[in-house]
Amino acid sequence: MREIPHLFDANALLGPIFLRHDDTPDDVPRLLAALDENGISRALVTHGRAKWQHPAIGNRLVIEQTKGIDRLVPCWVVLPSITGEVPPERELVAQLLESGARAARLCTGMNRLTLEPFEIDTLLEALAERRVPLFLDTNNRHWSEDRPWAFIEWAVRTFPTLPLVLLREPPANYRTLFTLMERHSNLYIETSYFQGHDAIAHVAGRWGADRLVFGTGIPEWDPGMAITGLTYASFSVEDRDAVAGGSLQRLLDNCVV
């Protein structure tokens, strides 16, 4: 019989999120209980208030609230610095790493970023210098929504040392996505919404399981589908375990601290 994989969730939020309900885990104890219920060992967590209030507040909270909890690895929300809302880009990335965070999340539409190179190039350069993986969060709900492909192509081509992870990548974009997967080895897919038939095994077989990172979107999204999408995928146990957590761990370990 197969054993339960160690699941390391690349896409979790800690604390309050917008439109939560009574059953939504919205603090550390409730999040840990929900991870246990779903067999998830560890999670990379962004604070709900970094996404839904402001990075300057939520990034501090995620460090405070995950202190001493090895299962939760903090992730910051990042912004360009020109408005003075966050420190200059290099300093921001240095602080992120000093704080113990090992990843950054870019909340594109929510923070009204255009993703034009002139707006975002300094930030991406600073992240690329320290190889901090950047998780792209477009706050998308359904597979029919547009994705910022011109930005994604420019970012992975211009900053080859920047790992770019597409959160909640839908199953409907292979004609575009696969071209970029073929051309840029620093592009990664988070699996929570990647639910086309046999898609996870197909990508692992073609570009390697290390190009996929398991994630759920908890506590906004139901983790059940993401979990069985991995455990029943048609690939080897080795590939399954790489997607379950090995790929993400390697990305975090590659940060230049």
Partner 1 sequence: MAQTTTATDSSTLTIREAALRGEPLTDTFIVNNHSHLGLYYGFAQPAPDADSLVRTMDRVGIDQSCVFPSLAITADMRAGNDMSLEAAQRHPGRILAYAVPDPNLASQVRDEMQRCIDAGVRGIKFHTGLHEYPFAGPGYVPAFELADRHRLPLISHGVDSPDVLRRTARAYPNAHFIVAHAGAGRRHPEADPIYDVALEEPNVYLDTAGSVAYYGIFAQLVKHVGAGRILYGDDFPWMCPTHQIGRILLAPITDDEKKQILGGTMQRLLSTRQ
Q: Is the dihedral of CA 179, 211, 105, 140 positive or negative?
A: positive
**Residue number with CB closer to partner 1 (15 or 80):** 15
Figure out which of the listed residues 218, 248, 252, 255 binds partner 1, where binding follows CB under 8 A: 218
* Ranges within 188-207 binding partner 1 (CB under 8 A): 193, 195-200, 202
**Residue number with CB closer to partner 1 (70 or 118):** 70
Cβ atoms of 226 and 38 within 8 Å: the answer is: no
Cα(113)–Cα(91) distance, integer angstroms: 20
| 240: Cβ contacts below 8 Å, ≥ 6 apart | 5, 209, 230, 231, 233
Cβ atoms of 230 and 203 within 8 Å: the answer is: no
Residue 39 interacting with partner 1 (CB under 8 A)? yes
Residue 228 interacting with partner 1 (CB under 8 A)? yes
Nearest distance, CB of residue 31 and partner 1, angstroms: 11
* Ranges within 106-145 binding partner 1 (CB under 8 A): 141-143
Q: Which residues bind partner 1 (CB under 8 A)?
A: 1-6, 19, 21, 23-24, 37-39, 41, 141-143, 170-175, 193, 195-200, 202, 218-234, 237, 240-241, 244-246
